[in-house]
Copies of this chain bind each other. A is one copy, B any other.
Amino acid sequence: MSRLTEMGKAAKEASFVLAGLKAPEKNKALIASAEALEKNMDKVLAANKTDVDTAVENGIKGAFIDRLTLNEKRIKEMADGLRDVARLDDPIGEVLWMKTLDNGLKIGQKRVPMGVIGIIFEARPNVTADAFGLCLKAGSAVMLRGGKEAFNSNRTIVEIFREALENIGLPKDCVQVVEDTSRETATEMMRLNGYIDVLIPRGGAGLIQSVVQNSTVPVIETGTGNCHTYVDESADLDMAVNIVINAKTQRPGVCNACESLLVHEKVADKFIPMVTKALKERKVEIRGDESFEKAGAVPASEEDWGTEYNDLIISARVVKDIDEAIEHIRKYSTGHSECIVTENYTNAQRFLDEVDAAAVYVNASTRFTDGGQFGFGAEIGISTQKLHARGPMGLKEITTTKYIIYGNGQIRQ
C-alpha cells in the first residue's frame, strides 16, 4: 500500500468520526485550531521564512513571493477565518424534503458530508487553513497537496491543526498534508478513487487543466473567467462607465474581473470616448476593434477575445445589437460571470435567459461573483463547471445528500 493510499484510508476513517459530530463539537475544533495557530505563530513564521528564502534563492520574485509570504497579520487573518467558519450554520443533517409514498414508505433527502475532499493548490499557505476549516465544518476530512514552494509552511500549519484536534479527542487525520510534492504523487492523488470523494484544484489555469485532464476522482473545476460587460443601446452610460471601471480595475488579477467590453453601435460614438478616458486614467490598456482604435486603442487580435488577462488590459469592440453581443459571449465566454448594462426590460431578461454562465448580471459589476458577497459566509472556490456546483461554492456546495427511507416491511411488487 502506497503512502498516499495509507493517507486516503486514514482520511476515510477520520471522515466517519467527523460525520458523526454535532455542530458544537466541530465549532470547538475550529476555535481550538485558531487558537493553536496564533499560539504557534513563531513556528509558522519560521517555516514560512525557510520557504520564502528558498524561493528567493531560486530566483523567484514578484507576486509569487507576495502570495507565499506570511506575516503576523496574515496568520491572524487565517485564525479569524477559522472562527468565522465556526459561526456559520452547520450544513449537515438538513432534510431537504421528506414525503410519504402511496405504499407508506417515508422517504427523505438528507444533506450529509462528502467524506474525503482533496485539494490541490499552489503556493498560497492561507489555502491550507481556509480549506481545512471549510471541510471540517462540512463534516469532511481533507487531504491537502500544496505547491512545493510552500511545503514547510503548509506542513507546519497542518501539524498545528492535527495537534489541536488530538488535544480535544478528535482524529488528527481529519487533515493531512501530502509530503511528497512530486508530480507523480499529484497524479496518484488524482486517481485515488475509493478514498477521495471529490478533488478541488485551486490555482492557475495550468494546474486546473492538469487536474481535469488526469483525474479519475470527480473534480470540481474552478477558476478561469473571461468575463464580459455589454453596454446596450439604452444603457445609462455613466453607470456603464462605473461598472466597467469597477469590474476591470477594482482587483484586476482575479477571475471575476471584466476582461472584455462590448458596446452597442448606436451608443459607440458617445460611450467610447467616455470609457476610454476613464480606463486610461486607471492605466488600463485597451485592445480594440476599429472603433476603439480610432480612440487610441491597440488593435485587438483574434486571440485577445479569448484571453483572460488578469491584468490592467481589456479587449473592446462594437456590436450591432444584443444578438451579436450574446453570440460573441457564447463564442468566447468561459461561463463565469457576464453582465449587461441596459435600461431595456426585454433585453435585460433576454440576457439573463440566453447567456449561459455561472452568474449573469444586469447593471452590476461582475466583481460580485464571490461566496462572501453572495452571502454564503465563506468560499472554497468558484466553480465554472455545470456539475454539482456552479458559481461560488460555500459550505453546502462541498456536501452531498443521501436518501433515508423509513419502512414497516414494504417489499416491491
Contacts and interface: CB of A to CB of B under 8 A. Distances in A.
Interface in A129-158: none
Contacts of A369: 403
A224 to B, nearest CB: 12
Interface string A53-86: 0000000000000000000000000000000000
- The prevalent SS among residues of A at the interface is mixed
Interface string A391-413: 10000000011111111111110
Interface stretch (A160-168, A239-247, A285-293): A239-247
25 contacts: A105-B364, A105-B368, A107-B375, A114-B386, A115-B386, A197-B385, A197-B387, A212-B216, A218-B387, A242-B411, A245-B411, A246-B411, A250-B412, A357-B402, A361-B407, A362-B406, A363-B409, A363-B410, A364-B408, A364-B409, A364-B410, A365-B412, A367-B411, A390-B401, A391-B401
Contact of A375 (B99, B112, B348): B99
Interface string A345-387: 0001000111011111111110111000111000000000111
A354 B213 CA distance: 34
A81 to B, nearest CB: 20
Given A356-B115, A375-B99, A368 B405 contact: yes
Interface residues of A, number: 68
Contact of A359 (B219, B250, B362, B402): B402
A193 interface: yes
A112 B358 CA distance: 10
A383 to B, nearest CB: 10
Copies in the complex: 2
A321 to B, nearest CB: 17
A20 interface: yes
A216 B218 contact: no
A101 interface: yes
A368 B198 CA distance: 27
B362 A405 contact: yes
Interface of A: 16, 19-20, 99, 101, 105, 107, 112, 114-115, 193, 197-198, 212-213, 216, 218-221, 236, 239, 242-243, 245-247, 250, 330, 348, 352-354, 356-365, 367-369, 373-375, 385-388, 390-391, 400-412
A107 B243 contact: no
Given A348-B406, A364-B409, A364-B410, 10 more contacts: A16-B330, A16-B354, A19-B354, A115-B386, A197-B387, A198-B386, A218-B387, A360-B403, A362-B406, A388-B388
Nearest to A113: B356
A337 to B, nearest CB: 9
Nearest to A373: B412
Given A193-B212, A198-B386, A403-B391, A242 B409 contact: yes
Contacts of A410: 363-365, 368
A193 B387 CA distance: 13
Contacts of A390: 400-403
A293 to B, nearest CB: 28
A213 B212 contact: no
Contacts of A353: 19-20
A352 B213 contact: no
A357 to B, nearest CB: 7
A404 B354 CA distance: 11
Interface centre among A243, A374, A411 (most CB of B within 10 A): A411
A46 to B, nearest CB: 36
B400 A363 contact: no
Given A101-B375, A400-B387, A368 B115 contact: no
A128 to B, nearest CB: 23
B246 A387 contact: no
Contacts of A236: 409
A359 B405 CA distance: 7
Contacts of A403: 358-360, 369, 374, 390-391
